[in-house]
Structures are given as C-alpha cells and as structure tokens.
Structure 1
Amino acid sequence: MFPHRARLCSGRPSRRRSLVYASVASIVLVGATSSGTLYVKAQAHDAEGLVSSSVSRGAEASSGATTAMEATVESSAMPTAAASSRTRPSPVVDRDALLAEAVKAVAVEDGAAVSVAVAVLDVASGESAVYGDGAFDTASIVKVDILASLLLRAQDAGRGLTAQEKSYAAAMIRNSDNASATALWTAIGQAEGLRAANERFGLRDTEGGDGALWGLTQTTAADQLTLLRQVFGGKSELSESSRAYLTGLMGEIAVGQDWGVSAAASGVGASEFALKNGWLPRSATGLWDINSVGRVSAGGREYLVAVLSDGNSSKEKGVSVVEAVAKAAVSCLDGD
C-alpha cells in the first residue's frame, strides 16, 4: 500500500559459559597462561553436593585427570535446564519489519495515491523504527526547524531572543502563523541558514525551499526524528533553556491544530504531548501534504514520532491517515 525500504535490525547474542555437572566427578578447565599451561580444577561430588576439590597445574595434571575430564564431557550430552536457559540467545526483534506491516494495514481511501513515511523512538529504551525513506514537503512542520536554527544562532552570539523574535516564535509554533515564519526564515538566512544549522543537528537529507518558499523544504521521516531528538533529547546542540523554550511552545498548540501524533497518546500521561503539524494543498494536483511531528506519552512511556504524507485527497482524510500511522508506530514499540 505504501512504498518503503526496510531497514533490518541486527543483534549479536551474548556469549555465556555454562558448567556441566557429573553425578560423581567433573573436571573444569579454569584457565591457561600465555605459554599455554593449563589450570584444571577437579571436583568430587556425593549425593549432597560438592565435598572436595583440587587444582592441578600444567604437567602436574595427571593423564587420569584428563581422561576423567573427557569422560565427564562425553557423559554430559544433555545440559541441565538452568544451563540451557543461560545459553539461549534472546530473540532479535525486527522493529522496522513490524512497523512496515503495521503501516501497510492502515486503510486509505480507494484509488488514492497516498505516500507515507514514519519514524518512531522509545525515549527510555532507545528502540526505534523507520518506514519509508522518500523526501516529502515539510509544509509547516519546518517551523520547528526554523526556530531551532534561530535559537542556535542566538546561542552562538551569546544572546537570548529579542522580544520581537519571541513574538514571531510564539505565533509561528502555537498558531502556525505563516507571516511570522517568513520573518524568522529570513532572520536565519533562509535555506542556507537552515542547512548550516541542520548540519550541526545531524540532518542529512533535508533541503530548504527556494527563496521565501520555506513550506517546500524537503525532508525525510528519519531526519525529522533526528531533529526531535535535538529538541527533546539530553544530548543536543541546543542548550537546556533553548530546548525548554521550544518544547514549551510545542506543548501549547492552538485548539484545532492539536491533531496528528497526539492521537497515539494513551494511558498515564495521555494528555501530555508536544507537537507541530503541517498541511499544504498543492496547487498543481489539488492533493494535500499532511505531516505531524512531536512527543507523546503512551502507557506511561514517552515516544518521539514523525509522520509525513502526501497525495491525500483532502485535509481531513490526510489527518486520519497520519493519526492511524502514528498509532501503528507507537504500537510497534509499546510494551517492550
């Protein structure tokens, strides 16, 4: 239903040692020196457990001990249940594959050429998943990037935002005011200023719109997740005060604009979310770009979610798709 490129997760099972116990006697290899001299520990058991042990070194370990060790290993073909549980590797969960299946199950209107991409991160565990690697118009979600870039420039200059800049910032994020966005887009140096900031933020596939067309900035879901980590994470180019200012505004979105990734919120803290949405009808096709990025609380855990879409026949239908995809993304990480 939706084009995507899977990113397979990989894992390496831990190496664990297990001791094999014989009913009467066992020989356990303890170690070796750099010259190859073996240290062997002989253990004798009775019905109530270990009663004696001795350590032999190098040539002092008798051939009889070697024979006993070989016999013990040969007689221990079936490890104990405890040893088996210690050596069994944990299963590797392919989060990207789970997310792909969940997104494909999202219903879209018949005949619609909707494309979607999503990236999600469990803040506590660090688990993440991505579906789709194509570039999308940002529409108004770029306003988060614009303000982050402005705050970074102010930090570099050793100053805070001016009263006018704060006024623009509040209107741009809370109410998605376009005139305020244009003013701050100009203040950061338009696409070139955005590029310079994004290079430091770690966004590699985001390109600012031409001239004053900030809404036609191109980005990917993975890049938007990277930006959210800069805004909400502890390790960031932005100072703690800059992050608090930006996230505070994202938590005060005007009524009527608080749809999108907030739909994934549930359980404890379900009312706690901070987001920015973007919506843009394309004049050439009449179809809508609908995007949503932010942080949500679900089941007592926090998630960063970015959903991008285009090809929607209406704003309402696009919002429905974005919200369903956000829920699917969180469900892929929820409960682990």
Structure 2
Amino acid sequence: MESSRACRGRRAHPPRSRPLLYGALATAVVLGSTAAGTAYVKARAHSGMRPVSSTASPSPSPSASASASAAASEEASVEPAVRPTTDYDALLASAMKAVDVPDGAEVSVAVLDLDSGSGATYGEGAFDTASIVKVDILAALLLQAQDEGRELTAAEKSYATAMIENSDNASASELWRTIGAAEGLNAANKRFGLTGTSGGDGMLWGLTQTTAADQLRLLRQVFGADSELSEASRTYLRGLMERIAVDQRWGVSAAADGSAWALKNGWLPRTATGLWDINSVGRVTAGGRDVLVAVLSDDNTTQARGISLVEAAAVAAVSVFVREDVSASASVSASATVSS
C-alpha cells in the first residue's frame, strides 16, 4: 500500500449612581429654598444615606457643587471591564513542551472540549491517515445510506464492524469501493466541512492525506449534535469505536479516566524509509469532561516510540481543559498487528 509520499508543509460594576440625590442637590444649590432642601433630605433618605436636618444643613458652596457634579459625571462614565479571553492554542503549545518528540519525527494535535466548545490546535501540515481513515469511510457510507433513505445492509454492517473494531483492511477495501473510493470520500468530506483531506489514489485508502484540524471536524460529526449524520448513524459509529479490539486500545485512550473512551488508531510502516506513521483519534472522558482529540505523527523510528509520542501528546492536549492530572495507563500489546 506504498506510493510516493505527498508533500507536507511542515465588570467591574460601576458604583450605583444616585441621579435623584444629585438632582435634588443641584436644585438646592440653584434655588437655595426650603423646598429644595426638603427634596435633598428626601433624596438622601430614598438613597439609603443617613438623614440630615433640612434646617441645619447649610447650602453647599459653589466649589462643593462642582465637585459633586464631577463625581456624578465620573460615576456615570464607568464602563464594565472586558473579560479576558483564553488563548487555548498558546496553552496547548505550552503543554506540548513537556512532550518528548524524537529527532526527525513530526506531530500535530487538535483538541476540543465538548462541554465549553473551546478548542486548540498544535502543529500543521498533512499526514498519511493510515487506518484512522476507516472512521471517515464509514461516515461517508452512512451519509450515502441516509441520502438513499435506507439502512446499511447486513454485509455492510459486517464489514463496518470488522473495519472499525479490528481494523480489518479487506473490509475497509470493500467499503472503500462501495462509497466510490476517493471521489465518494471527498464528496462526503465536503459536506462534513473537511478542507484539508484528500482521498488516496486507487485502492490506497491508507495514504489519504489529512490534517489534525480536519480529523477534529470529523470527530465533531460523529460525537457532536450539529452533524450531517443522523442521531442513529452517530450512535452506530460511536458504538463501534467504543469496542476496539483489546490489542488496539492505545493512543488517545491514554488521556481517559478508565475505559471512558471511543477511538480509532492507525499505524503504517513505510517500506521506503522504515519509519512509521502512528495516528489516534477519538473521544475521551477525563475529569468529568468529554474531550475530542486527534493526534497525527510520522517519521517515528519504531511503532512503540510512535505510540508513546501519540499518547503523551493526547495527555498534554487533554490537560489544557482538565486541570487535574490524568493517568496515561495504556500499554502496547506485544501481539499488536504490524501494520494497519
């Protein structure tokens, strides 16, 4: 499944104003009358200030009147303070400083807190999808079936289960043909809002090019409410991603609390270089928050090192929104398949 690699770029509240008080005071200054003084006393009582005797209070001097008017003007001009915004991209970049990225390897991360709707990205450029494209293939199939007003056939469901849960390549190839290969994938992705993903040539679906930001957009189609996919389609796809084979339960799941995750991983050794593409996408629950994460990497010297990089990046990304420590407890099974 090798071909020439596509090029990649690497308030404060203002004090309560007292217009009645200052209006009465101004009237007392101008008229100097008993009625105006009485209005001033009533205004103080209405404003909650300590009452004063209307007969004992001297008329304010012109300078005092000017000061009171200035104070009133100053009070009226106070504006609510602007609430500062959070730069999540900067927070993610800071968190990624703790991630050991081996020399020569590249990594890109995109993360979204479903509770707040805030997100961040780190890194750029296009990467080979390897088997994470299988989520995209099934999403495209479900969208086509919706358009046709039909359910998936028994055969399609069988292929979908094997393709997602076990990362079966033959099943992926069958559904790749069903959706119309790259043309069908690209058409679905246009509706999904993916702008940096292009289907692989011929039957080379694993060499589909994508970005971390696009994978996050796809995850929102699967796990979000605002989606081209129906609720039934989203529930079906999510269910498969929650039942990944035991030997493939690594990647973004490292940032989850226990088994509260849904994912799809991709791993591909490049025969021309001997280096590995290692990717992981999905939803994790940590600290009571649901977070979508997409981590893409390439040029890893070994599969194990690539997995470690992806897991560390996922933990760093989730930490931006989950303030307590999250445990990276996933381990790599010795029986993991060599390629997917």
Question: Normalising by the residue count of structure 2, what TM-score does the alignment of the two structures yield?
Answer: 0.78
Aligned counterpart, 1:107: 100
**Equivalent residue letter for 2:302:** S
With 148-157 and 100-109 compared, the bigger mean Cα shift is at 100-109
CA distance 1:224–1:136, shift in 2 (3 Å) = same
- Give me the whole-angstrom Cα distance separating, in 2, the residues matched to 1:283 and 1:45: 87
Instruction: Specify which of 246, 251, 275 is matched with residue 287 of structure 1.
Output: 275
2:9 and 2:126 in contact (8 A); partners too: no
Alignment of 1:186-225 (within 5 A): 186-225=177-216
Corresponding residue for residue 317 of structure 1: 305
Amino acid at match of 2:237: L
Aligned residues of 1:173 and 1:253 also touching (Cα < 8 A) = yes
Aligned ranges 1:15-26 → 2 under 5 Å? 18-19=14-15, 21=17, 25-26=21-22
What is the letter of the counterpart of residue 172 of structure 1?
M
Distance 1:70 1:118 in 2: 61
Alignment-mate amino acid for residue 281 of structure 1: P
| Pairwise CA distance, 1:192 | 0.3
> Offset of 1:290 from its aligned partner?
0.4
SS at 1:333 equivalent: coil
Other-structure match for 2:125: 134
8 A Cα contact 1:137 1:218, kept in partner: yes
Q: 1:17–1:87: 8 Å Cα contact kept in structure 2?
A: yes
AA aligned to 1:261 is V
- Select which of 72, 77, 94 maps to 2:87: 94
Q: Match of 1:116?
A: 107
**Structure 2 residue corresponding to 1:150, chosen from 141, 153, 161:** 141
Amino acid paired to 1:99: L
C-alpha change, 1:27 and 1:225, in structure 2 (3 Å) is: farther
Change over 3 Å in CA distance of 1:73–1:176 after alignment to 2:
farther
CA distance in 1, matches of 2:207, 2:233: 26
Cα distance in structure 2, aligned partners of 1:214 and 1:17: 58
The 1-side partners of 2:225 and 2:47 are apart by 55
Distance 1:335 1:229 in 2: 23
CA distance in 2, matches of 1:70, 1:145: 72
Quick one: structure 1 residues 181 and 68, their matched pair in 2 at CA, closer, same or farther if it must change by over 3 Å? Answer: farther
Q: Confirm or deny: 8 A CA contact 1:137 1:216 kept in the other structure.
A: yes
Q: Which amino acid aligns with 1:323?
A: E
Structure 1 partner of 2:261: 273
Report the Cα offset of residue 295 of structure 1: 0.4
d(CA) in 2 for partners of 1:293, 1:328: 14
User: Aligned equivalents of 2:190 and 2:84: distance in 1?
Assistant: 36
Give SS of 1:256's match: helix
Match of 1:71 in 2: 67
More strand by share: 1
2:13 and 2:243 map into 1 onto residues whose CA distance is 54
Closer, same or farther in 2 for the Cα pair 1:77/1:330, shift >3 Å? farther
Kept after mapping to 2: 8 A contact 1:151/1:242: yes
Judging by fraction of residues, say which structure has more helix. 2
Contiguous gaps of at least 5 residues in structure 2: 1-7, 25-39, 52-59, 325-340
Q: 1:235 Cα deviation (Å)?
A: 1.1
Which position in structure 2 is the counterpart of 1:307?
295
Gaps of 5+ in 1: 6-13, 29-41, 53-63
Structure 1 residue aligned with 2:223: 232
Q: Deviations over 1:256-294 (max 9, x none)?
A: 10100000113xxx3211000000011111111100000
Which structure: larger Rg? Answer: 2
In the superposition, the TM-score normalised over structure 1's length comes to 0.78
Instruction: Find out whether 1:255 has 2:267 as its counterpart.
Output: no
Question: Are the equivalent residues in 2 in contact too, given 1:275–1:294 (CA < 8 A)?
Answer: yes
Q: What is residue 168 of structure 2 aligned with on the other side?
A: 177
Q: How many residues align?
A: 291
**C-alpha distance after superposition, 1:105-155 (max 9, x if no partner):** 20133xx21111111111111011111221000000000000000011111
Q: Is the Cα contact below 8 Å between 1:231 and 1:243 reproduced in 2?
A: yes
